[in-house]
Amino acid sequence: MRLINSVVAVMFFVTLAACDSSSQTNLKTGIWRATLSRDAHKLPVILDVSKNPDGKTYTVYSVNGAEKLRLDTAYFQNDSLHIPMLLFDSKIVAKLEGDQLTGKYYRYLNGATSGFLPFEAKFGENYKFFKEGEAKSAKNISGSWATLFKNELTGDTTQAVGNLSQTGTAVEGSFLTPTGDYRFLTGSVNGDSLYLSTFDGSNAYLFKAAIQADGSLNGSFWSGLKAYKTWKAKPDPSAKLPDADKLTYLKPGFETVNFTFPDADGKNLSLTDARFKGKPVIIQILGSWCPNCMDETNFLAPWYKKNKERGVEIVGLAFERSDKPEVSGPRIKRMSDRLGIDYPVLLAGTNTDEATGKALPMLNKVMSYPTTIFIDKKGKVRKIHTGFSGPGTGKYYDDFVAEFNGLMDKLISEK
């Protein structure tokens, strides 16, 4: 009996040791080149990994050109590396074998897996599509591009403006649409072909295009797990989108916005509260799931810290995937902590047309996340801006910052 108990005890401790793989696994720190596989194409991702002071967990950044986007704390469990991206309902789970990781990039919906893409990574490789010196081309695609994306299944089209910059064969930039941009795209030109990609936990974008004899681009665009579009672009220095200040507007008879919604702790806040009276107010319509909203918040949060003493307020209206406070409240808190938000963010409803129409009946429609409403000291709406041109759009972002500061200086100085 004692022998049996001893054998059982040994087996028990062996099993514990096998489950506690974090003590047995050591992920190399530095640059990893990863790929997501989709429709026989490889979407390249650059990851920068460092070990945390606890010696067990890791900090992982997704590198997209000038952007280093921190993902959630990575850890080992059951012999696999887990890299969660909680704000975007996604996670990478991969087994480590020497200098290689093999696994899957998962997307989740309401707590259940909605799909996945195969994931691979190799340590020490720091390139996207081509190793240094491999890409060769006499083509240069720098400049503005009048672009049209088309969903071949539905026939729907989206007007866009490409803003691309090429140095040697390396390319960076983005595409702007009426509702936002495709964030930080980086890649290469090789021969007569263009390759671009980005990955931020939510967006997994792969662009490929052939450079035509007339200088135009004819390409394909893979997005996430399933989305696919074709696209065409022509060089056009004067390419522009519809006026972003005219897409969302007040219905006839309205001059202001009114609301009362709870914050992440369940405390109601209203635009008629004393903290907002007599001050210019910026209303940020956003979602914790929205990368473009993250870009806008990365501008607004530090701007507010620097300027709040001038007598200005910002309030965020979050339209989440769930209207249950116990589900979305923690997500809003996580977003606020991650992005350093000092202003209140309220749970306004779900990100559906029906919910936004009910929450903000004075607007014709919320077309985009984010949408930003500027209110003067008298409580009147002075401007509604649809979408956001993030830092990946270059000069368009610079123009937005200049216009924003000009408008806010004016609203703050008014009597």
Fold entry, domain 260-413: Glutaredoxin (3.40.30)
What is residue 9's predicted lDDT score, i.e. its pLDDT? 39
What is residue 1's predicted lDDT score, i.e. its pLDDT? 37
What is residue 79's predicted lDDT score, i.e. its pLDDT? 87
What is residue 2's predicted lDDT score, i.e. its pLDDT? 35
Beta bridge partners of 68: 63
For residue 82, pLDDT over 80 is answered with: yes
What is residue 16's predicted lDDT score, i.e. its pLDDT? 38
Q: What is the pLDDT of residues 242-269, one digit of tens each?
A: 999 999 999 999 999 999 999 999 999 9
For residue 5, pLDDT over 60 is answered with: no
For residue 353, pLDDT over 70 is answered with: yes
Q: What is the pLDDT of residues 113-123, one digit of tens each?
A: 999 999 999 99
What is residue 224's predicted lDDT score, i.e. its pLDDT? 94
Domains 2-123 and 143-235 share a fold: yes
Q: Read off the pLDDT band of 109 (50, 70, 90).
A: confident
What is residue 25's predicted lDDT score, i.e. its pLDDT? 74
What is residue 17's predicted lDDT score, i.e. its pLDDT? 38
Question: If you count them, how many residues does the chain have?
Answer: 415
Looking at residue 134, its amino acid is: E
Could you state, in order of their start, the residue ranges of all structural domains in the chain? 2-123, 143-235, 260-413
Q: Read off the pLDDT band of 20 (50, 70, 90).
A: very low
Specify whether domain 143-235 bears CATH 3.30.390.50. Answer: no
Average pLDDT, the chain: 92
Give the separation between CA 260 and CA 279, rounded to whole angstroms. Answer: 18
For residue 13, pLDDT over 60 is answered with: no
Number of H helices, E strands in the chain: 5, 25
What is residue 22's predicted lDDT score, i.e. its pLDDT? 42
| 331 backbone dihedrals φ, ψ, rounded to 5° | -65, -40
CATH no., domain 2-123: 2.40.128.120
Q: Give the distance from CA 99 to its chain's centroid.
A: 29
User: At 249, is the secondary structure helix, strand, or coil?
Assistant: coil
What is residue 322's predicted lDDT score, i.e. its pLDDT? 92
What is residue 15's predicted lDDT score, i.e. its pLDDT? 39
Give the separation between CA 171 and CA 161, rounded to whole angstroms. Answer: 16
Average pLDDT over every residue of 407-411:
98
Q: What is the pLDDT of residues 166-209, one digit of tens each?
A: 999 999 999 999 999 999 999 999 999 999 999 999 999 999 99
